[in-house]
Amino acid sequence: MSQTFPIVYLARHGETAWTITGQHTGRTDLPLTERGEEMARRLGERLNGNTFAKVFTSPCLRAVQTCNLAGFGAVAEIERDLVEWDYGEYEGRLSADILAERPGWQLFRDGCPGGESPNEVAARADRMVDLVRSRRRRVAVLQWPLSANAGRALDWGGANCRPVVDAEHGEPEQPEP
């Protein structure tokens, strides 16, 4: 029995003021910087010519702006499970400051007081993976609660996952053909 798996393009929102400062940005609804807007337009250029069965975006302003500037706003579907990690008491804080108070803290192991646990974020990610896998076609996901780089490690059950842009970790990557 042959099974078709989707091709998934993961894109993270463009740069925000907190991206520049390195602050943990979860539920704070920040707009894109001018550079972030340019990154979003470049994302649209990189994805130009691709046809997607579905485009999903987080409801966060920065993700919606990225989606619109990339040219997918008219076809995008807001997906609540794509909202970023709820950092709770660590929202807006620097990792160095958190580690000074709580040596050895690791987000993916410890979560955040007053915010989400790793298991809660994983449950949202699992729901998104199931949703995307059900499409069985080319899908774009703008904003991912664990960052676009984390998408490389996810078990997409045979899906071809292609991170396209991650504003927090450098310049946009060219998608594979």
Angle at 118 between CA 157 and CA 137, to 5 degrees: 25
Give the pLDDT score at 6: 75
Q: Which of 15, 24, 79, 84 is catalytic?
A: 84
**Any catalytic annotation for residue 13?**
yes
Give the pLDDT score at 72: 93
Give the pLDDT score at 166: 47
Q: Is the sign of the CA dihedral 7, 81, 91, 113 positive or negative?
A: negative
Give the pLDDT score at 162: 54
The three-class DSSP label of residue 140 is strand
Give the pLDDT score at 157: 43
Percent of the chain having pLDDT more than 90? Answer: 50
**Any catalytic annotation for residue 77?**
no
Mean pLDDT value across residues 80-89? 93
107: alpha, beta or left? (left if phi > 0; alpha if psi -120 to 50): alpha
Mean pLDDT value across residues 7-22? 89
| pLDDT band, very low/low/confident/very high, at 16 (cuts 50, 70, 90) | very high
pLDDT: which is higher, 174 or 21:
21
**pLDDT, averaged across the chain:** 81
Q: Give strand ranges (E) for 25-101.
A: 54-57, 76-78
Note the pLDDT tens digit of each residue in 39-51.
999 999 988 988 8
The three-class DSSP label of residue 165 is strand
The token pair at 80 is: 């609540």
- pTM exceeds 0.95, yes or no: no
| Residues facing residue 160 across a β-bridge | 7
Note the pLDDT tens digit of each residue in 113-171.
999 998 998 888 888 888 888 876 788 887 655 543 344 334 444 445 555 544 444 44
Cα(63)–Cα(128) distance, integer angstroms: 16
Residue-range domains of the chain with CATH = 7-169 (3.40.50.1240)
Angle at 103 between CA 101 and CA 108, to 5 degrees: 105
Give the pLDDT score at 172: 41
Q: Which of 13, 15, 24, 91 is catalytic?
A: 13
Give the pLDDT score at 1: 40
Neighbours of 164 (CB within 10 A): 23
